[in-house]
Structure 1
Amino acid sequence: MVLSIGIILGAMILTIVLFLYFNPQFGGKASDEAIAEYKKSKNYKDDIFVNSTEVKLDMSAKDMGKALVGFFKSQPNTKPEEILPFSKIDSLNIADYKGETRLVWFGHSTFLLQTDKKTILIDPMLGNVPAPHPSLGSKRFNEELPISIDKLPKIDAVIISHDHYDHLDYKSIIALKNKVDHFYTPLGVGAHLQKWNVDKTKITELDWWQETYFKDLKLICTPAQHFSGRGLSDRAKTLWSSWIVQSKTDNIFFSGDSGYANHFKTIGEIYGPFDFAMIECGQYNEMWPDIHMFPEETVQAGIDVKAKKIMPIHWGAFKLAMHTWTDPIERFTKTAEEFDLRIVTPKIGELIYPKDSTYTVKTWWK
């Protein structure tokens, strides 16, 4: 009996070790040459990336237990009971588009942005489960997307905010990499892409406040208050960020994941006002207040960056916290109304035009 138990335990340990060391989902590690460059960054200290201010990342054992129980325990309305309404878009509609700036929301933080005759994907998490294995995460609310990866036409650029599974998806990158001209990431994230056989020459890594050009588009990597990591030993080994995309006609802000802090006001002062801002509003909890915003803070962040229109994101696709799935949008719209702000609340797949003056708020989630 003892021998049998020992064999079973040994097999389990071996399986876990093999999973941790050989699963490509965990991505790659920076080279010594890359790390030497990271050390020049003000955001890199003691071999890890850091936030501008001290941020609490480690929960107590008690809070960790509460989080795990809350996540796996069946709770009312944390997931929609029915398939969410969504619109489809076809490949030709995307490939042939030459009009004004527009976006398509895929749920959570994934967008297709078309501006200045270029097609960009932002945080293309197009998979079904934001985890290194399907059994380790919660499934997407909708199984079908506005357009499947295989039907997407050529993509000019991909912008990635950080390396968490709900923003950087291994299978999505594998399916996309041969139809993408260039990838833009914060420092360190390029190592994952290289591990997944994306050509190094197709990757540009930026630090906070660095700017670059993709043809006629100006891309700016701006701060966020968050963290990173895909495995057990790589926390904060890559940088996290927000992004700005500037074309000849539009100035667009994407928050990535972030707790509320003064960087939003700084971004607004330097690069605002913005025609359109996509700001995270979901997966929050009192146990991790520094790394995700509550909906009321999302509204304030939109005011800080001087956004003419604000869209709440990071909701509508996955259960990653214990609040009801509609709590983010309900609290956001209520607070935005109190401040008399212009907001955008599209259903998944709906075409979004930042300069559309006729848009009216839709409450499709009710």
Structure 2
Amino acid sequence: MWILLGIIVVLVVMVYVLLNYYPAFGARQSKARKAQLSRSAQYGAKKFRNATPAPIDNTNMGGKIKLLVEFAKGNPKGRPAIPVAVEPFRGSNGEVGAEQSGKAAITWFGHSAAMLQLDGKTLLLDPMFGRAPSPFPFIGGKRFSSKLPFEIEQLPLIDAVIISHDHYDHLDYGSIVKLKGKVKRFIVPLGVAPHLVRWGVSAAIIEEHDWWDEFEYAGLRLACTPARHFSGRSLSDRDATLWCSWVIEGRESKIFFSGDSGYGPHFKDIGDKYGPFDLTLMECGQYDERWAAIHMMPEETVQAHLDVQGKVMIPIHWGAFTLALHDWTDPVERAVKAARDRQARIATPKIGETVFVPSAAYPSLPWWR
């Protein structure tokens, strides 16, 4: 009995130390910060809330056990049989005359990470460049590609890093530590700043925003817009920070970045207020009927693109990691079919391939096959 008690005490102490001192878990909100965050219209009952409730259908014990068993078994087609090939990143400088033409340049790096070059500014969206979306990358499901299209040290000076929420597949400790020395500004939803500060980012270059905030940065017009999702990095911080989507507008092009979201009326609200968009980066992957309220099905992704009045859509949140039970190519196959059925224009660039907006022809080859 004493041996068992000793083991339990050791385990409790280890968990406590990890949660409080392991940097990848991020920072807890202080009482003062909680009081400040509570002034948001999105805050209630000591946490942030969705405008449209987002229940998850696996809340009972039986459902949780079934889900754990399914994940333990896995899906043989949940990962590619061979590593996914990537295009070496060249950016807007890789195409003669692209900079002079004033075109926006978007490069998708797999999952939700992307670079947007707009009006001479370089933005990184949810730059998760780590091996696995986990606080312990050596035990998480590794990236589909054997390498990135670049080395972080080779990236140009970044005018801003824009974050949609604090989940590990969108806000990565290792990536931020490597990037922070070449980033002028971090733009994040409410509550996320303490994570960055703990990781060595100066508070002076971080700005937090609530839904429907409109502001300018470096000549660009931005708006923090709603999403239907949740947040958290450890056992006790569920919904302690806000999640969002982003509107990014330059002189000639307007881009919508969905972040993570279940389908909901907020997409039409965003389209009515800020549309049309020259290009949308829309969440498409890691879904399941049991958590459809927080991750869209591919057909809903296409509908959300139409709701925000997008002209061209790049499906994101797939192609890098397995976080659900569907086949790894299911998101893009279904999205392409739904786009064709609804006469929506879709672009399917390779990981690392730069897309220019506007363009007479967008990438459409089924490279994943």
Q: Tell me, yes or no, whether TM beats 0.5.
A: yes
Matched, 1:332 2:328: no
Say if 1:309 and 1:354, in contact at 8 Å, map to a contact too. no
Give the corresponding residue for 1:72.
72
Of the three residues 175, 179, 195, the one matched with 2:198 is: 195
- Detail structure 1 runs of 4+ shifted over 6 Å in the superposition: none
Give the corresponding residue for 1:321.
324
Give the corresponding residue for 1:13.
12
1:6, distance to aligned residue in structure 2 (A):
4.6
Matched, 1:50 2:49: yes
SS of residue in 2 equivalent to 1:72:
helix
Residues 144-153 or 201-210, more deviating: 144-153
Deviations 1:191-228 (A, max 9, x none): 11111121111011000000111111011100000000
1:133, distance to aligned residue in structure 2 (A):
1.0
Say if 1:91 and 1:152, in contact at 8 Å, map to a contact too. no
Whole-Å separation in 1 of the counterparts to 2:158 and 2:315:
25
Map residues 238-253 of structure 1 onto 2, 5 A cutoff.
Answer: 238-253=241-256
The size of the alignment, in residue pairs, is 364
Given the superposition, is the C-alpha separation of residues 252 and 174 from structure 1 closer, same or farther in structure 2, using an over 3 Å criterion?
same
Q: Note the residue ranges of structure 2 that are not aligned, 5 or more in a row.
A: none
1:164, distance to aligned residue in structure 2 (A):
0.3
1:5, distance to aligned residue in structure 2 (A):
4.6
SS of residue in 1 equivalent to 2:304:
helix
1:54, distance to aligned residue in structure 2 (A):
1.9
Deviations 1:41-82 (A, max 9, x none): 110112211010222146222222222222221422100011
SS of residue in 2 equivalent to 1:287:
helix
Give the corresponding residue for 2:26.
27
Whole-Å separation in 1 of the counterparts to 2:208 and 2:112:
20
SS of residue in 2 equivalent to 1:155:
coil
Of the three residues 265, 268, 275, the one matched with 1:262 is: 265
Say if 1:121 and 1:155, in contact at 8 Å, map to a contact too. yes
Give the corresponding residue for 1:59.
59
Whole-Å separation in 1 of the counterparts to 2:47 and 2:64:
23
SS of residue in 1 equivalent to 2:357:
coil
Give the corresponding residue for 2:88.
88
Given the superposition, is the C-alpha separation of residues 33 and 66 from structure 1 closer, same or farther in structure 2, using an over 3 Å criterion?
same
What is the aligned-residue identity percentage? 47
Of the three residues 141, 146, 152, the one matched with 1:138 is: 141
Say if 2:197 and 2:203, in contact at 8 Å, map to a contact too. yes
Whole-Å separation in 2 of the counterparts to 1:181 and 1:22:
27
Whole-Å separation in 2 of the counterparts to 1:204 and 1:132:
24
1:14, distance to aligned residue in structure 2 (A):
2.9
Say if 2:90 and 2:354, in contact at 8 Å, map to a contact too. no
1:10, distance to aligned residue in structure 2 (A):
3.8
Whole-Å separation in 2 of the counterparts to 1:172 and 1:133:
13
Q: Note the residue ranges of structure 1 that are not aligned, 5 or more in a row.
A: none
Say if 2:92 and 2:117, in contact at 8 Å, map to a contact too. no
TM-score (norm 1): 0.95
SS of residue in 2 equivalent to 1:205:
strand
Say if 1:91 and 1:153, in contact at 8 Å, map to a contact too. no
Whole-Å separation in 1 of the counterparts to 2:342 and 2:54:
29
Deviations 1:336-363 (A, max 9, x none): 1111111011110001112011225110
Residues 68-77 or 203-212, more deviating: 68-77
Q: CA RMSD in A?
A: 1.9
TM-score (norm 2): 0.94
